[in-house]
Amino acid sequence: MPFLELSLPCSEAQQPRYERALEDLGALAVTLADAHADAPDEQAIFEPGVGEQPLWGELVLTALFPEDTDALVLLAALESFDDALDWTQARFRKVEDQDWERAWMDQYVPLRFGARTWIVPWNSELPDDAQASDAAIVRLDPGLAFGSGTHPTTALCLQWLDGLAAANALQGQRVLDFGCGSGILALAALKLGAAHAVGVDNDPQALIATHDNAERNEVADRLDVHLPADEPVATYPVVVANILASALVALADTLTARVAPGGVLAMSGILAGQEAEVIARYAADFEDLCAEQLEDWMRVTGTRRRG
């Protein structure tokens, strides 16, 4: 299936703002490459590695959009979203998806989060450290859905889930993964001891990826996926939402209503500097709100008030 590809040069300092705009306007995937590499396609990375800074001073940022996206309409929307950025150098072309899949597979290796959680490519051998009897192993093939564990926002949420499991606060619980992408967080929760998980995403491709990954991990009978309009009304003792800060603020009432009294919430997709707005929006309904940073990204967690 072909896609519309947008590529443009940018600096390391501007990269988070460009990426946020592209993701807010529906980018299916984003890659970064060294602007001065002799073969940029061979230097591309799908997402920055955990704890690494694989960014260069001058970058080429490339994003995928659905094939039927109107390039001129998209460009106008991007300029309106952040008119301080230079969108005049954006270039468009039609591409096939297999090049993106290969770039992801070339870069993706088994990764560990916390004490027990491992995210492993579906066709990769397990590292020796992942063969402990209590290891929580998620075999993943995200396809075109965001979420391979390598982005700091996903890493922050995986570390949080691993910490809940270590505190025996996840065993037998029901978990909501709001904005599930590849399903990585819901799958990790199930592997760490949750009894059931629900994934919600507004992208049908994400629901397909989540379902496929659940079958690959033999937990499909314990994971349900829904578009927002089809999501059943329910509350959960554990809710995780790895979306964007603007969406977290806009959806505060929705997310708050999903967390059972005394339940816990983790939110990521928040750039450093945006956490204060998110905390302020949730402060009336949550206690013990705190933020933790990894690279340029933040995670905010809290407990739903009982009163």
Per the annotation, binding residues for S-adenosyl-L-methionine are: 154, 179, 201, 242
What would the two tokens of residue 5 be?
Answer: 């590809």
| Contacts with 233 (C-beta within 8 Å, 6 or more apart), sequence order | none
What would the two tokens of residue 264 be?
Answer: 């816990």
* DSSP result, 63-86: EEEETT--HHHHHHHHHHH-TTS-
- How far is the CA of 71 from the CAs of 14, 146, 182, 234, 282, in angstroms? 22, 22, 26, 39, 37
Instruction: For residues 127 and 46, give the distance between their C-alpha atoms in angstroms, rounded to a whole number.
Output: 22
Q: Which of 295, 119, 92 is nearest to 191 (CA)?
A: 119
- One-letter amino acid at 304 equals R
Known binding-site positions: 154, 179, 201, 242
Per-state percent for the chain, helix, strand, coil, to nearest 5:
35, 30, 35
Instruction: For residues 146 and 198, give the distance between their C-alpha atoms in angstroms, rounded to a whole number.
Output: 17
